[in-house]
Homo-oligomer: A and B are copies of this chain.
C-alpha cells in the first residue's frame, strides 16, 4: 500500500499568497485524510494533484481559525466533486475534533443552506482543563448544540480521554488504529497518531509447493493467520510458511502546542516514521513562542528525540518566514534557519529533519520486515 503526505498549507495565524493556512493530506491507496483545514484549503487542493472527492476523513487539531475556517467550504467542495449517483450509497465523512466543532459545522452549513451529497458525522473529543489556560476553555453555553441537526448530519460520538493510556481512541479498522492525544496550547489542542497494522509477510510459495499445497483459498487462510490441516493430517502453521511480518507505519501529526500532556502520547508516538510538529518561531524567540502556546525548532526536536522518530517534519511557520523559493539574498527570517536549529538539536541522533512547504509531497515507504 502506498502512503504519502501532502502539505497544502504551512503558515501560521492566517493564509497568505505565499503560505496557505494549516492543512495536510495523508493519502493511502488514493483515500485521502485531511488534517486541519484553514481558510483557502479548497483552493490549495485544486492547485495540488489531489482530488477533493477522495477525502473520507477529516481531523481538526483545535478550533483556531487558521486550522478551521476552510472546513465549511471544503465540505461543499467535496460534495461538488462527488459523483451524485443515486444508486450509490455514499459513505459518511467522519470528522474528528474538539468539542464545539459539531456546533460550528451545524451553524455554518445550516445558515448558508449548504446541502451535501453525503452524510457527515462530527466525533467530538472532550478536552481536559490542563490543555489550555482558563481563558482558552469554551463555556458549556458555547459548545452545546442548539438548533436542529443539519439534514446531512449523523450524530457523532463524544470521545473521552482513556486515563490509563492518556489517549483518545478515535477508531480502528482492519488497516489502521487512529488515536488522539492532548497538547497544551492557548485553546485545547490535539495530536493524532495513525498506526498502520502490521501485515503478514509473504507466503513461502516454494515451501508450500513442497508440502503439496496449491495456490487457492488455503493460501488466503494461512495469510490471514489460520492454521491449515493437510489431508495427511499434518498441521501447517502460518508461522512456518510466512516470511517475517511487515510492521505497520506510524504517522504522528501534532496540532499547535507548546508541550505534550502526559507520558502516554510519547509512548504512543515512539518510533514514528514521520512526526509532524509545529515550529512557529525560531529558537531565539522561544519566550514569545511559548507565551503564545507555540514551539521552536529546538522544542520540536526534543519531542522527536524522545519518540525516536525517523523523520521530523517542521511546519506551521510564522508568515514572516517566506518559502525558500521566494527567499532573497540578505533576507533576515530564513526558514532554512529553522531546519538548522532543529538539526543542531538532533546532531547526535539519527532523526532526519524536513521543512514542509506548501505542496511538498512526502512519500512514507513501507517498513522493512523486522
Contacts and interface: CB of A to CB of B under 8 A. Distances in A.
Interface of A: 13-17, 39-40, 42-43, 46-47, 63-65, 68-70, 72-73, 76-77, 80, 100-101, 103-104, 107-108, 110-114, 136, 138-139, 141-143, 146-148, 186-187
Contacts of A63: 111-113
Contacts of A141: 147-148
Nearest to A80: B14
19 contacts: A16-B46, A17-B46, A17-B47, A39-B40, A39-B42, A39-B73, A64-B112, A69-B69, A69-B70, A69-B108, A103-B107, A104-B107, A104-B108, A108-B108, A110-B142, A111-B143, A141-B147, A142-B147, A146-B147
Contacts of A142: 110-111, 147
A14 B39 contact: no
Contact of A112 (B47, B69, B113): B69
B39 A17 contact: no
A232 to B, nearest CB: 66
The 3 A-B pairs with the shortest beta carbon distances in the complex, nearest first, are: A39-B73, A65-B112, A107-B107
A150 to B, nearest CB: 10
**Copy count, this protein chain:** 2
Contact of A111 (B17, B72, B80, B138): B138
Contact of A76 (B14, B100, B114): B14
B100 A104 contact: no
Contacts of A76: 14, 65
Contacts of A13: 80
A145 to B, nearest CB: 10
A110 B65 CA distance: 10
